[in-house]
Amino acid sequence: MNFPSKRIDEFKILIPRHGKMNTDAIIYASKKLWEKIKNDESVTQIINVASLPGIVGKALAMPDIHAGYGFPIGGVAAFDTENGIISPGGVGYDINCGVRLISTYLKKKDVEEKIEKVLATIFSLVPSGVGSRSRILKLSKREMKEVVKEGARWAVSNGLGETEDLEFIEENGIIKGAEPDAISQRAYERGMGQLGTLGSGNHFIEIDYVEEIYDQEKANIFGIFKNQVVILLHTGSRGFGHQIADDYIKVMRRNQKKYGINLPDQQLACAPFSSVEGQDYWAAMKGAVNYAFANREIITHRIREAFLSVFKKGYRKLGLKLIYDVAHNIAKIEEFEIEKKRKSLIIHRKGATRAYPPHHSLIPQKYRESGQPVLIPGDMGRYSFVLAGTEKAYKETFGSSCHGAGRILSRHQARKAVGQRNIIEEMEKRNITVLAESRRTVVEEVPEAYKDVADVIEVVKGAGISLPVARLKPLGVIKG
């Protein structure tokens, strides 16, 4: 540990400004988690983020922090729109990777005997795995450009989603200002056949039941009740977003010297937000954000079709309503008070979830009294959590919280640790059914590859940046 650090309180570590840092860094971590984090490369990465030009406030790391490309996963940073930068590494390769939670009227007992059939039906309708391509949607470039501009609304207008869902998606499912011509031909080629697909890695569709309610009033507002069956969906912009990130990292590296930006790590490749390169990436990134919103909406449509097939009732009778959809790999212009003045800032959230408080105008009217739903998946063998955003998060973390459990084993380390164990059989012994396109993905996503998400939730709750509403337990999981 070659950096100064000081524990501020039970849940926060301060790394004071030193060396080339332009500001302090704050890491949200309990004593238990700090032991896992303090020697990780991610700490060096958040120090590097604090060294970037035009950073406003502190560089922040959530308790699920782990090493990423340039920026740590679990990192939050705000930059001045006039004098600051934008960095593809601060968004991530999977642009608008995010989570949505779907309710049902069904109870655990209604589904557990049919879980294999439910999963198999969804599995047949939603392609998954590395490079997975839709067997149904084959978009032209013209249609792709429409998706880039319209986001989830494109899905709805093409009969692949429901109008009522749009209110419960961050940005209502469309971030304005996407520019189709800022996106490469290669990105379009990769994205044309992948809309409506899950992908691989840590992406999943999970059938859960509500195991515990912590805040009955907020649960009532969210439409959550004990033993209720709900669906968690985690995926993003697939190869389309990956290619956009790759393209613009190369662009920014080529032009780095032009702007006199000296980086401690070339993976932090960036450009002034107001520059041509910065604005081109911003416009292309928003196209990938919209693609991901459309992708999750189409997959939701397929999930509804699967439930209709198994339970012989329409989605409204089954209560398949969207509770919320929130991004956790994104950059957005948002307003915050800085030194008693309202300022527009470019907020980078990489592996971090927006957690807006009660009464904020940018969350659905339904959630104005509760605060925004914050959706935090755990690993496939334990539990996930639903929380609510807070005023403290808005003041301390630019309205941000954690996004998951956070890896403690790399994929290679996980494969080595598992060896020849049969993880699907181990999950069955925990009464969790797993379907996957490949054994490799299941092995890489073994529960012990992740921190216990309950430890992460303890920190965000203790720090007051999001408050638990319910705990979800898996019945069945689809992995890529």
d(CA 45, CA 48): 5
Whether 403 is a known active-site residue: answer yes
Burial class (CB in 10 A: 0-12, 13-18, 19+), 31: exposed
> Are 223 and 364 within 8 A, CB to CB?
no
> Are 241 and 288 within 8 A, CB to CB?
yes
Residues sharing a CB contact under 8 Å with residue 191, sequence separation 6 or more, in sequence order: 139, 144, 237, 238, 239, 240, 243, 291
Residue 298 backbone phi and psi in degrees, to 5: -65, -40
If you search the block for the tokens 């925004």, which residue do you land on?
372
Pick the catalytic residue from 242, 301, 403, 412.
Answer: 403
Please give the biggest Cα pair distance in the chain.
64
Strands 384-389 and 400-401: unpaired
> Are 204 and 234 within 8 A, CB to CB?
yes
> Are 120 and 476 within 8 A, CB to CB?
no
d(CA 319, CA 303): 12
Active-site annotation, residues: 403
